[in-house]
Chains A and B, each alone.
Chain A
Amino acid sequence: MSLTINTTINGKSVSGSAEASTSLLEFLRDTLEYKGTKLCCNTGECGACTIIYNGKPINSCVTMAADANGAQITTIEGLADGDKLHPVQQAFIDTGAVQCGYCTPGYIISVKALLDRTTQPTPDDIEEAVSGNICRCTGYTKIVDAIQLAADKMAGRS
C-alpha cells in the first residue's frame, strides 16, 4: 500500500511516495535519487547506509521509509557547503582514507555524528562510533587518522 512521506533532508522539505515495505535507504536512493547513501549488506551489518536521523546515526536499510515522516535527516549530500568540503570529508581525503570510497559516505556520517557528540573523542569513542562501519579496502588505520585529524581541525587544535 502506497504511503506519502513528508520529511526534511539536509534542511530541505521533501515529499515522495513509498510502499510500507520500502526501506528508508530505498526511499532515498530510488525514489528521491539521493545516491550518496550506499547499499551493501541490506541487513544492518555494514554501515554503508548510515544517515543521521533526528540527530542519531542509524542504518537506513533496516529503517522504514514511513519512519522518515516528520523526521530530520542528514545524508552525505548535506555536509559540504557548496564547494567547500566539511572538515570530515576533507580529512578523509587528506589522510588517504579513501580507496574505493564505497564505505566513505557511511563513515563520514558516523564521524560527523561523533564529532557532534564530542570535540575530543577518545580511542574508545572512535571505536564506538564506527564499529558498525565496515571497510574492506583500508584496514582502518588511515580511517582512524582521518577521524583524529577531523576532530583536531574542527576543535581548532590543528
Chain B
Amino acid sequence: MDYFEPKTVTEALALLAQYGAEAKVIAGGTDVMVDIKYKEEPGCLVNIKKIPGLGSIQENGGSLRVGPLVTIRDIETSSIVRERLGVFWDSCHQFASLQIRNTATVGGNICRASPSGETLAPLLVLEAKAKLAFADGEKTEGFNSFFQGPGKTTLGYKGLLTEIEIPYPPNGSRGIYLKHAVRGAMDIAMVGVAVLVTPDAAKNGLQDVRIGLGAVAPTPIRATKTEALLRGKPLNAALVKEAAAMAASESSPISDQRSSAENRRWIVEALTRRGLQQSWQAATGKEVV
C-alpha cells in the first residue's frame, strides 16, 4: 500500500487523480483503519491531516464554516455550534465514545456516507452545503444532492471535501436530533431523526419545518411530504400524529442484524412525533396539544 501525506489540497487531488479507485483518503481513521484491517488494503492511502486550513470553525455572517478535519469533539465543545446549530451539536454529542469523538472528523463522517452516519440527517436538515475540490476546479453542492447511495457521494474517487458551510436557521428556530439505539451514543444508530422547526410569529403553527431521517434509506433523506403536510398549519397533536405516520411511510428501511424494517418504521414514527413535540416546546415554550 502506498502512502502519502500531501501538504496541499492540490497535491492531494493529484494523488486521487493518479490512483483513482485505488486511493483512499484517511482523516481520523476510525472507519478506514477498520477497513484496512478487515476488508481490503487500498492501493494508496492519502492522509490529509497535514493539509493546513482544513480544521477550523469560522463564522461567516449568517453561516458557520466547518473544515472537514474538525473533529466530532471539536463540534461538541463548540459553544457557537451548540447555540446556533443545536441539531448538529446533538448528533455530535451522541456520536460513539469520547475516544472516537476525539479522533473522528466531520469530513470523515460525511464522506463515509453511511446511511446511519450520525451527522448526516442533521446537516441535511440544516441545508448545509459542501465545497468539493477536484483537479479541474471547485464546486459547491447542497447536501440534498451530495449523497447518492450507501458509501457513495458526488465526490466520486477523485474529489476532496474541503469545507462544509452551514447556514444558521431562521431566528426562533429550534432543532433536535434523536438517535435510536440500545446503548445510546455507543451504538450505530438503528434510526436517526433530525427535526428543525421555525414557528410562525403567532407561535401557533410552523412557518417552516425540516425533518431528516437517517438509517432508513440508502442515504439520509428529507421527509419532504411530511414537511409539506406540516408547513403553514396550526400545530396540534392530531397533526403531529399524522405527520409522524407520514414520515414513517416516507422511509424505506431494510432489515438487518440491528433491527427489522418494521421496527425502524415504528421508530421513525415515534421519534418524529417526539422530535416535533420537543422542538416545538423548545422554540415556543408551549406543549403540543
Chain A contacts to B: CB under 8 angstroms: 1, 3, 19-21, 23, 42-44, 47, 50, 53, 56-59, 61-64, 66-67, 110, 128-129, 131-133
Contact = CB atoms under 8 A, between A and B. Distances in A.
The list of the 6 closest CB pairs from A to B, nearest first, reads A132-B97, A20-B3, A62-B33, A56-B102, A59-B99, A132-B99
A58 B72 CA distance: 12
Contact of A131 (B29, B45, B97): B97
Given A21-B41, A131-B186, A132-B186, A64 B103 contact: no
8 contacts: A20-B1, A43-B34, A57-B98, A61-B33, A64-B26, A110-B99, A131-B97, A131-B184
A66 B27 CA distance: 12
Contacts of B49: 67
Contacts of A3: 3
B287 interface: no
Contacts, number: 80
Interface in B5-51: 5, 26, 29-30, 33-34, 36-38, 41, 45, 47, 49
Given A57-B98, A132-B99, 14 more contacts: A20-B2, A57-B102, A58-B102, A59-B97, A59-B100, A59-B103, A62-B33, A62-B100, A63-B29, A63-B103, A64-B47, A67-B47, A131-B97, A132-B186
B96 interface: yes
Interface residues of B, number: 27
Nearest to A69: B5
A131 B102 CA distance: 14
A131 B2 contact: no
Q: Looking at chain B's contact residues, is the secondary structure mostly helix, strand, loop, or mixed?
A: helix
Interface in B118-169: none
Contact of A66 (B5, B73, B100): B5
A26 to B, nearest CB: 10
B103 A62 contact: yes
Contacts of A43: 34, 37-38
A91 B121 CA distance: 42
